[in-house]
């Protein structure tokens, strides 16, 4: 019997069952005596085992069977639930996820799981299982998706990535002090991305004589080796280049491993969610006839066809205005209304709840909290908020990093929190909500907050700002500095947070999606990172303007307002023309000079100015005249024109003319 036709359904359903198992295991940790949770996990594992066996994936079926035996023993009260037992089950789930990903990428789903199977059998017998730590001689660096991204981006920017194995003399007395000195040396010439064992273990001297660090630097291998060897009591330094082609499977949660193949992606359309949720609660059965799986590629084609329709709609509206025929006018208006409704439906079909990204975080937070010896409660609010599929695919990495940042730098250890009069358990809130044409995602923690003095001190030492400017900055502007490249306020190096190499990556990723990120913080109370994202990326509202004989489009999301300014009101400051706009000094940018537009007509005594904003910064874009607001389709300029300054794309207007879309972020920078 040919099973290949069922493969896609098998992969999708396996992922859903594994997600359920992950979520329910986290619940079980909070309520270890709740048998109903164990039953729920058992049901998902049992279904997964049956599906795997039917499809012929024996390794997957065998490991699930072994896990099922342990769950059955818990269910019958033979074994009690402990964090150590859950660690082993989580490891088994990681292996199952890796197998499913292997199958989805065309592999056979085979994996060496003898160690975890042996541990599960021990648990089943009632023995206490201690998850073995890797011995110091066999440290091996594995990178999660975020660290892997940093290493790749560093390589693209001309940095070298090295794995440095450092061995201290066996008679070394103050190992932690030596480690600190070694990190100091590395910091002068590069950045530490990861260390094994973790920095906390190194500081507590919980290692034998050697450890491994991954370093990003511009110096050569020999130079790095010489510098570290200068630290006394270092016996041996071995520097190897990082192989960026190495698999990142071990550390990668399932949902982060989206398949590159378009065919595998499907979007579920929920016809009537509320009704379905009610029915599921009452009957406990899955309602399958309410949803239909649609290949994402088909939705992309549908979107492209609709974009062409929007262009023709604009053309028809213009012809109708020119001919001034009432019947044509009426028909075109009606068509515009219907196509507007159609646009909403198509955009909604591409929408996916952010829960698909948020689902992977509780498990990650649990692991980080255990690694760092902290108590953390993750609250997720608004997971049903929907975002365009293209945005969802990109937003995972920045959120992972901001969460790690909150857990590592933000939340303090239980003893520090006690001393400050806070509850031992820190709270991290992950919240998503709609507002206008945007989705906001906020990450809030009740940790230590950001120290203004520490940030300024670091920024001045790195040469990001001068001491004179530092005194004039508002708190919000100071917090923005932590998004500068290579910035970190960590007192000690940590392999969890990526050492500040990543916040600039977070900012650039979000801005590339047409979004923005801001920080609000109070020292000792906590911080809020707020991300603003557009609902969709392809159809945008713009203000059409004219510069000489050319037309340009400025996205409405960047515009504060428009103004008419007299020439005599223009002031000069630091060789820059500026205006006084509502008590603020706003620099003027003459688009005709920036885009080298051929001059055809003379200037008036009045200037038309579009005031735009990016974060706290503002600028006035000088144009010749305003045409009006319009919805346009954003088309890319193609591969040949990727590096055009301050132009993010183009659109075709109703009269067939091409208008370039201005990238306000690049202009303000």
What are the pLDDT digits (tens) for 169-216?
Answer: 888 878 888 888 898 888 888 888 888 888 878 887 778 788 899 988
Active site residue 46: yes
Active site residue 68: yes
Structure tokens at 343: 């646009």
According to DSSP, residue 449 is labeled -
Q: Residues 405, 412, 480, 665: which is the catalytic one?
A: 405
With DSSP H G I counted as helix, E B as strand and the rest as coil, what are the percentages for the chain, rounded to 5? Answer: 45, 25, 30
Q: Is pLDDT at 519 greater than 50 in this prediction?
A: yes
- Give strand pairing partners of 214: 163, 194
User: Which of 78-92, 135-149, 645-659 holds the top average pLDDT?
Assistant: 78-92
Q: Give the integer Cα–Cα distance in Å for 662 and 648.
A: 6
pLDDT range class, residue 331, cuts 50, 70, 90: very high
Average pLDDT score over residue span 512-530: 87
Q: Residues 13, 16, 68, 200: which is the catalytic one?
A: 68
Least confident range from 101-110, 333-342, 547-556: namely 101-110
Q: Is pLDDT at 469 greater than 50 in this prediction?
A: yes
The percent of residues in the chain predicted with pLDDT above 90, rounded, is 12
The answer to whether 368 and 494 are in contact (CB under 8 A) is no
* Phi, psi for residue 57 in degrees, rounded to 5: -95, 85
Least confident range from 151-160, 329-338, 550-559: namely 151-160
Q: Is pLDDT at 610 greater than 90 in this prediction?
A: yes
* pLDDT of 140: 53
The answer to whether 362 and 477 are in contact (CB under 8 A) is no
DSSP codes of every residue in 366-425: HHHHHHHT--EEEEEE-TT-EEEHHHHHHHHHHHHHHHHHIIIIISPPHHHHHHTT--SS
Average pLDDT score over residue span 5-11: 81
Q: Is pLDDT at 122 greater than 70 in this prediction?
A: yes
pLDDT range class, residue 285, cuts 50, 70, 90: very low
* pLDDT of 151: 82
Q: Read off the pLDDT of residues 432-455 as tens digits, 9 standing for 90 and up.
A: 988 766 788 999 999 888 888 888
Q: Residues 13, 46, 200, 511: which is the catalytic one?
A: 46
Average pLDDT score over residue span 519-539: 84
pTM of the model: 0.56
């Amino acid at each position: 019997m040919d099973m290949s036709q069922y493969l896609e359904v098998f992969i999708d359903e396996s992922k859903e069952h594994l997600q359920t198992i992950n979520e329910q295991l986290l619940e079980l940790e909070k309520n270890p005596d709740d048998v109903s949770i164990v039953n729920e996990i058992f049901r998902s594992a049992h279904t997964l085992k049956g599906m795997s066996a039917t499809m012929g994936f024996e390794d997957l079926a065998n490991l699930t069977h072994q896990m099922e035996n342990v769950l059955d023993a818990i269910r019958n009260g033979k074994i009690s639930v402990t964090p150590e037992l859950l660690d082993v089950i989580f490891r088994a789930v990681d292996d199952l996820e890796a197998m499913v990903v292997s199958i989805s990428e065309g592999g056979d789903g085979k994996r060496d799981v003898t160690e975890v199977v042996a541990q599960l059998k021990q648990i089943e017998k009632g023995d206490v299982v201690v998850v073995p730590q890797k011995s110091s001689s066999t440290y091996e660096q594995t990178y999660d998706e975020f660290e892997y991204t940093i290493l790749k981006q560093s390589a693209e920017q001309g940095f070298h990535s090295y794995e440095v194995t450092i061995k201290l003399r066996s008679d070394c007395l103050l190992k932690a002090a030596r480690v600190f000195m070694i990190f100091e040396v590395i910091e002068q010439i590069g950045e530490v991305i990861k260390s094994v064992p973790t920095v906390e273990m190194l500081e507590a001297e919980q290692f034998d004589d050697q450890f491994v660090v991954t370093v990003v630097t511009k110096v050569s291998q020999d130079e790095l080796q010489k510098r570290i060897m200068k630290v006394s009591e270092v016996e041996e330094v071995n520097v190897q280049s990082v192989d960026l082609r190495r698999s990142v499977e071990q550390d990668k949660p399932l949902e982060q491993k989206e398949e590159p193949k378009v065919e595998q992606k499907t979007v579920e359309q929920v016809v009537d969610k509320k009704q379905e949720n009610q029915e599921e609660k009452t009957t406990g059965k899955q309602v399958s006839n309410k949803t239909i799986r649609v290949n994402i590629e088909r939705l992309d084609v549908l979107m492209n066809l609709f974009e062409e329709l929007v262009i023709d709609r604009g053309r028809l509206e213009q012809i109708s205005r020119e001919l001034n025929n009432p019947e044509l006018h009426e028909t075109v208006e009606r068509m515009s209304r219907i196509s507007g409704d159609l646009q909403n439906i198509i955009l909604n079909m591409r929408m996916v709840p952010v829960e698909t990204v948020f689902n992977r975080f509780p498990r990650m937070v649990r692991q980080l909290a255990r690694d760092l010896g902290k108590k953390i409660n993750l609250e997720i609010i608004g997971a049903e908020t929907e975002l365009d599929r293209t945005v969802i695919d990109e937003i995972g990495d920045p959120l992972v990093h901001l969460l790690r940042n909150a857990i590592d730098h933000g939340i303090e250890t239980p003893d520090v929190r006690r001393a400050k009069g806070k509850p031992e358990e820190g709270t991290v809130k992950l919240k998503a909500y709609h507002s206008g044409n945007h989705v906001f995602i906020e990450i809030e923690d009740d940790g230590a907050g950001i120290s203004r003095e520490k940030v300024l001190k670091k920024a001045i030492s790195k040469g990001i700002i001068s001491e004179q400017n530092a005194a004039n900055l508002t708190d919000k502007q100071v917090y923005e500095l932590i998004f500068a490249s290579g910035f970190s306020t960590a007192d000690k190096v940590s392999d969890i947070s990526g050492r500040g190499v990543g916040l600039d990556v977070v900012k650039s990723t979000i801005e590339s999606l047409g979004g923005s990120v801001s920080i609000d913080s109070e020292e000792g109370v906590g911080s809020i990172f707020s991300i603003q994202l557009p609902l969709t990326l392809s159809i945008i509202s713009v203000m059409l303007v004219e510069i000489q004989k050319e037309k340009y489009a400025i996205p409405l999301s960047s515009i504060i307002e428009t103004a008419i300014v007299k020439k005599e009101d223009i002031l000069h400051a630091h060789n820059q023309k500026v205006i006084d706009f509502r008590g603020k000094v706003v620099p003027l940018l003459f688009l005709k000079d920036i885009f080298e537009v051929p001059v055809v007509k003379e200037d008036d005594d009045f200037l038309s100015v579009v005031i735009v904003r990016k974060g706290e910064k503002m600028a006035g874009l000088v144009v010749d005249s305003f045409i009006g607001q319009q919805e346009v389709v954003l088309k890319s300029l193609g591969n040949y024109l990727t590096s055009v300054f301050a132009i993010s794309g183009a659109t075709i207007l109703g009269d067939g003319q091409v208008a370039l879309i201005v990238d306000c972020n690049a202009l303000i920078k």
